[in-house]
Structure 1
Amino acid sequence: MEPGGGGGQDRLSALPDDVLVLILLRLDTTTAGRTSILSHRWRRIWALLPELRFPADADLRLVASALAAHEAPISYLDVRSLDAVPESVEACLALAAGRLSGSLVFQNRVSPGGNAGGGGDGGTLGFDLTCLHNATAVSLDLGLLGLAVLTTGVFARLTELSLERVRFRSWWELGDAVSSPRCPCLQKLSVIYAHGLANLAIHSESLLQLKLKDLYGLQQLTIVAQVLNELDLGHCFGADGGVVAHISTPQLVSLFWVDLHDSTSVQLGNWPRLQNLTSFFLVYAPHDSLLNHSFLRLLKQFQFIKSLHIRLVYLEQNIGNLHYALEDLTKLPCITALSITVNDKGHAFGASLFNILRICSDLRFFVLELDDVSDSEVPYECPSGCVCDQPSDWKTEEFTLNCLQGASIDMEGSDPQIAFVKRLLTWAVALKHMQINFDSSMSECKVMELRQTLSSFAGPETRVNFYMYENEGVKFLGTRYLLAP
């Protein structure tokens, strides 16, 4: 720009194409496309972008036009739509297939009052998923649009596939598509909240991580994956069971299981390398709780597990007429690390933790996390005389955790919780390190008081680190290190 002048040279347009591409990559694709009207020099620059990101609620007709005009290979494509119809989605994916050589993310949101599944017959007719020959990662959240996977074509480079909120039109096709003959490089597969998969059979020589959750209508499941090391299975077998499952994963290391387990219909094979198990348990439940019984049956399969994570859930109601289910948990595999996430719904949980810890004689590390997720907007208040703190002898009964050396505890500052932490400090006679994580809702005065109180209960040579959860992260509050006299 010349001094005092109203115009000047267009030095930006003189830059090389690759520099202009780097500038446009900082914009969403719709905005970048508008630069084509600036001059003849800019007309084709946006079409050279290797990454295309369309803004939320993008018009898929405009997305299709942009893909048709685009010239360069696409390493990343991100499309977010609202109330999409199957024909538009199919058209966009077909146009992308020829140039996509990297990752695809597609999300179809359903507006409030909108028709999940695309409206009309979108959930039943849906669209065909073209074979994305060169894609390396694909994530499709379809808002319950109908989907069929073509029976031909090889996803030669695909390593990650995520499918969420899908109505499958042909139940036999997905297993064939994700198995090794058609997905020879697939390492991560996730299918969440899907309808129409009556039969899912996966035979993979490359799959390392598999997540299957909320598969409605599933009747038969087969997983043969020789190198799989992580399996996450939840709410797939239905409330009444009845699903026939065969799972052969001899290299499995980590298992997340929140589902029914009937040894007559669910064959799990051997897991000699299993180190981590995560599951779910209702503390108070009907005597015939299928989920609880399934968890207990699952535990019996193992003699040793390095790390066990249990999510303890209390019902948000008066639990006095329910069975105290932890009475049925009389034995655990030999474990070195125990992590418990408590969703207490306002109930006291000290007695429950005591009942679990006293059967963990080899425990070396313990983690207590608090989950305050509620089923209702109004917090539940535990009624006076509730049975949740029974039996009360845990407050006085003595036992020792001779091997426990480290612990991490979340604290909200309730009296029952403070009582439990004090007892833990007396049971853990060899404790060397403890981390206390105070909830951000606690007052500074309360935090200072608890720091002093809990430090006084810690044994000789116990290092206690205090932290405070805050919106921007975790703040370190200091260390109390008590030396032996």
Structure 2
Amino acid sequence: MAQQCCGDGGGGIAANRAKPSSSAAAAIASGEDRLSAFPDDVLVLILLGLGDIAEAARTSVLSHRWCRVWTLLPELCFHHLVPDDGRRIREVLVAPDAPPPPLRRISVTAQDTGPDSLQAWLPDAARRVSGNLFYRNTAPPRMEDGDGDEAIQLPCFDNATGIELTLGFLGLALPFAGNFTRLTNLGLYRVRLHGPCELGDVVSSSRCPNLKRLCVREARGVDKLSIHSESLLKVDLENLNGLRQLTVVAPVLEELKLYSCFAANKPVAVISTPQLVFLEWKDPYDRHSVQLGNLGQLRRLRTDFFFVHGPHNIWQNLDMLEFLQQFQFIRGLDIILAYPRDISNLPYLMEGMTVVPRTDFLTICFLNEGHAFGPSLFHVLKLCTDIRRLAMVLFKSEGLESACHSGCNCDQPTNWKAEELLLNRLEVVDIGNLEGAEHEVVLVKRLFSWATVLKKMRITFDFSVSKSKAMVLLPILSSFSRPETRVEFYMHHDANEKSVFLLDPEDQGTAF
């Protein structure tokens, strides 16, 4: 089925014609061919308006002439496929007479289809796609060992510019021969890679000379990954279960993200990326086995979790601190401070953080589960007194009540409430997801006291905060500021965390 969701679709082919009437849809439903008399451009509009693959298959058998009409579509979208629909996609892709023209986009969403369904049409798609291929298997993740499963043979896409495959952990075998000459974007999600061809061999410059972005998430079967690319700008690697060795040699790479790839394995990595601007390292780190190379252009660094409470010598904290010690100055530093839900009898670990790189822009994400985070913030700020901008984002597990209970020791040590701290370069503070708890209000007051040259503070309330509650908090929080400081308050539109509006002190919302 082809849908308007693929964009304009008609490519202007029938811009001046009226849309097909409901009688056309009725003819399709009845099985009576009253449509073939229409001009091709009208038939194209009808195909673009169909709702699912069953309708598309039903339409295509009404007349052999319609098989030719399929080739006039510049884009194809297939949704809610079932296992038997693979051959129907192939019928749409293959022209009966002459070679079909290129397709700028194919988008397929399938419901728990197996390798055979995808294999039925993938080679034909490789011959036709000149733009983007999107395939998503909506099956729940397969947690069982599937190494013996039949693998989908990925053909070589000579002309495609983008490929994104979400396979639900179906097996995928990469092609031994051929080049992806025009490919600029490759995304592989929930895949089980089969040998013998290695992922690194395919994505390196010898076979993907124009690849700009590589994203691999929740992939299995990647033991070693060696990337040598003259073109890559962004690499995003997440949950590569079983990775033991990583090599990235990419002279123009600007962004590298690594998250939970080495897991329990000792990290062995060689990173040669002299133009890297952004590095996210949320993985084990060992300075003896990880070579980061020249990072002279690095402007932003994002680290793994640091647990505020927990057992002594927890490896995540030790690795994170060792990683930070490799940097003396970084323009932007992002750290995550995590709290267990139950911190009773767990030691306070912030004293183990004694040095962090000098930075201008500090971002701290608090996974605080409702606990007071004043002590941990105060500790970090004592190490970063030269910051010019501070951003704080507060998170707790969605749908769960606050883990903090009466008598909880999360407010210890209490020196942050009385001890003075001079942040005489801090000009901008941004606080996200504020709920208005007492300890949060006290912390905002302390921030105004510490930041003597503060120009602007922006506070965005958590989406759970009602407007009436926000309007109560607004004058309280505003009262702590100096006259020269501009304070702005924002609220979320319903539960849409990406859409906010500015609160007016006179109780008038302004779109933002």
Same fold (TM over 0.5): yes
Quick one: structure 1 residues 165 and 270, their matched pair in 2 at CA, closer, same or farther if it must change by over 3 Å?
Answer: same
Residues 463 and 479 of structure 1 are in contact (CA less than 8 Å); yes or no, is this contact kept in structure 2? no
Quick one: structure 1 residues 88 and 372, their matched pair in 2 at CA, closer, same or farther if it must change by over 3 Å?
Answer: same
Residues 150 and 173 of structure 1 are in contact (CA less than 8 Å); yes or no, is this contact kept in structure 2? no
2:428 aligned residue: 406
2:484 aligned residue: 461
2:12 aligned residue: none
For 2:402 and 2:459, the matched residues in 1 are separated by: 26
Residues 126 and 146 of structure 1 are in contact (CA less than 8 Å); yes or no, is this contact kept in structure 2? yes
Query: How many Å apart are 1:127 and its aligned residue?
Result: 2.1
**Is the aligned partner of 1:345 residue 2:374?**
no
Q: What's the CA shift string for 1:325-361, capped at 9, x where partnerless?
A: 2212222212111111211112111111111112212
**Which residue of 115, 119, 131 maps to 1:90?**
119
**Is the aligned partner of 1:110 residue 2:133?**
no
Question: Which segment drifts farther, 364-373 or 15-24?
Answer: 15-24
1:4 aligned residue: none
Residues 131 and 161 of structure 2 are in contact (CA less than 8 Å); yes or no, is this contact kept in structure 1? yes
For 1:246 and 1:220, the matched residues in 2 are separated by: 8
Alignment of structure 1 residues 416-431 onto 2, 5 Å: 416-431=439-454
Alignment of structure 1 residues 430-445 onto 2, 5 Å: 430-445=453-468
**Is the aligned partner of 1:478 residue 2:507?**
no
For 1:194 and 1:115, the matched residues in 2 are separated by: 12
Amino acid at match of 1:406: V
Q: What's the CA shift string for 1:451-475, capped at 9, x where partnerless?
A: 1111111012111111111225212
**Which residue of 131, 137, 152 maps to 2:162?**
137
Q: What's the CA shift string for 1:33-71, capped at 9, x where partnerless?
A: 655567787563233111110012342232233223483
Secondary structure of the equivalent of 1:461?
coil
For 2:63 and 2:194, the matched residues in 1 are separated by: 47
Amino acid at match of 2:70: W
For 2:351 and 2:378, the matched residues in 1 are separated by: 12
**Is the aligned partner of 1:126 residue 2:151?**
yes
**Is the aligned partner of 1:325 residue 2:334?**
no
Amino acid at match of 2:237: L
Query: How many Å apart are 1:221 and its aligned residue?
Result: 1.1
Query: How many Å apart are 1:21 and its aligned residue?
Result: 3.5
Quick one: structure 1 residues 84 and 299, their matched pair in 2 at CA, closer, same or farther if it must change by over 3 Å?
Answer: same
For 1:444 and 1:296, the matched residues in 2 are separated by: 41
**Is the aligned partner of 1:291 residue 2:320?**
no
Quick one: structure 1 residues 432 and 82, their matched pair in 2 at CA, closer, same or farther if it must change by over 3 Å?
Answer: same
Residues 191 and 219 of structure 2 are in contact (CA less than 8 Å); yes or no, is this contact kept in structure 1? yes
Secondary structure of the equivalent of 1:55?
strand
Amino acid at match of 1:351: P
Quick one: structure 1 residues 18 and 277, their matched pair in 2 at CA, closer, same or farther if it must change by over 3 Å?
Answer: farther
For 1:277 and 1:469, the matched residues in 2 are separated by: 28
Secondary structure of the equivalent of 1:422?
helix
Q: Structure 1 length as normaliser, TM-score?
A: 0.89
Query: How many Å apart are 1:274 and its aligned residue?
Result: 0.6
For 1:116 and 1:184, the matched residues in 2 are separated by: 35
2:228 aligned residue: 203
Query: How many Å apart are 1:366 and its aligned residue?
Result: 1.1
Secondary structure of the equivalent of 1:458?
coil
Alignment of structure 1 residues 11-50 onto 2, 5 Å: 17-18=40-41, 21=44, 24-28=47-51, 30=53, 31=55, 34-36=58-60, 44-50=68-74
Query: How many Å apart are 1:439 and its aligned residue?
Result: 2.1
Query: How many Å apart are 1:434 and its aligned residue?
Result: 1.1
1:53 aligned residue: 77
Query: How many Å apart are 1:74 and its aligned residue?
Result: 1.1
For 2:415 and 2:450, the matched residues in 1 are separated by: 14
Residues 158 and 182 of structure 2 are in contact (CA less than 8 Å); yes or no, is this contact kept in structure 1? yes
Secondary structure of the equivalent of 2:80?
coil
Quick one: structure 1 residues 431 and 127, their matched pair in 2 at CA, closer, same or farther if it must change by over 3 Å?
Answer: same
Amino acid at match of 1:260: P
Quick one: structure 1 residues 17 and 306, their matched pair in 2 at CA, closer, same or farther if it must change by over 3 Å?
Answer: farther
2:382 aligned residue: 358
Residues 266 and 284 of structure 2 are in contact (CA less than 8 Å); yes or no, is this contact kept in structure 1? no
Amino acid at match of 1:302: F
**Which residue of 375, 378, 383 maps to 2:405?**
383
Query: How many Å apart are 1:211 and its aligned residue?
Result: 0.7
Amino acid at match of 1:401: L
**Which residue of 241, 245, 252 maps to 2:276?**
252
1:483 aligned residue: none
Query: How many Å apart are 1:382 and its aligned residue?
Result: 1.8
For 1:439 and 1:417, the matched residues in 2 are separated by: 12
For 2:102 and 2:366, the matched residues in 1 are separated by: 49
Query: Percent identity between the aligned chains?
Result: 48
For 1:362 and 1:430, the matched residues in 2 are separated by: 12
Residues 171 and 196 of structure 1 are in contact (CA less than 8 Å); yes or no, is this contact kept in structure 2? no
1:67 aligned residue: 93
Q: Structure 2 length as normaliser, TM-score?
A: 0.84
Unpaired segments of 5 or more residues in structure 2? 1-22, 25-33, 507-512
For 1:343 and 1:412, the matched residues in 2 are separated by: 14
For 1:380 and 1:418, the matched residues in 2 are separated by: 17
Quick one: structure 1 residues 18 and 451, their matched pair in 2 at CA, closer, same or farther if it must change by over 3 Å?
Answer: same
**Which residue of 109, 125, 143 maps to 1:80?**
109
Residues 126 and 145 of structure 1 are in contact (CA less than 8 Å); yes or no, is this contact kept in structure 2? yes
Question: Which segment drifts farther, 470-479 or 433-442?
Answer: 470-479
Residues 174 and 197 of structure 2 are in contact (CA less than 8 Å); yes or no, is this contact kept in structure 1? no
Unpaired segments of 5 or more residues in structure 1? 1-6, 481-485
Residues 287 and 323 of structure 2 are in contact (CA less than 8 Å); yes or no, is this contact kept in structure 1? no
Amino acid at match of 2:388: R
1:156 aligned residue: 181
For 1:223 and 1:446, the matched residues in 2 are separated by: 50
Secondary structure of the equivalent of 1:56?
strand
Q: What's the CA shift string for 1:203-232, capped at 9, x where partnerless?
A: 000000001111111121111111111001
2:215 aligned residue: 190
Secondary structure of the equivalent of 2:425?
coil
**Which residue of 394, 415, 439 maps to 1:393?**
415
Query: How many Å apart are 1:268 and its aligned residue?
Result: 1.2
Query: How many Å apart are 1:122 and its aligned residue?
Result: 7.3
Quick one: structure 1 residues 283 and 349, their matched pair in 2 at CA, closer, same or farther if it must change by over 3 Å?
Answer: same
Aligned residue-pair number: 465
Residues 474 and 505 of structure 2 are in contact (CA less than 8 Å); yes or no, is this contact kept in structure 1? no
Residues 153 and 172 of structure 2 are in contact (CA less than 8 Å); yes or no, is this contact kept in structure 1? yes
Quick one: structure 1 residues 171 and 458, their matched pair in 2 at CA, closer, same or farther if it must change by over 3 Å?
Answer: farther
Alignment of structure 1 residues 274-285 onto 2, 5 Å: 274-279=298-303, 280-285=305-310
For 2:261 and 2:300, the matched residues in 1 are separated by: 21
For 2:105 and 2:51, the matched residues in 1 are separated by: 12
Secondary structure of the equivalent of 2:356?
coil
**Is the aligned partner of 1:175 residue 2:200?**
yes
Query: How many Å apart are 1:190 and its aligned residue?
Result: 0.8
Question: Which segment drifts farther, 463-472 or 183-192?
Answer: 463-472
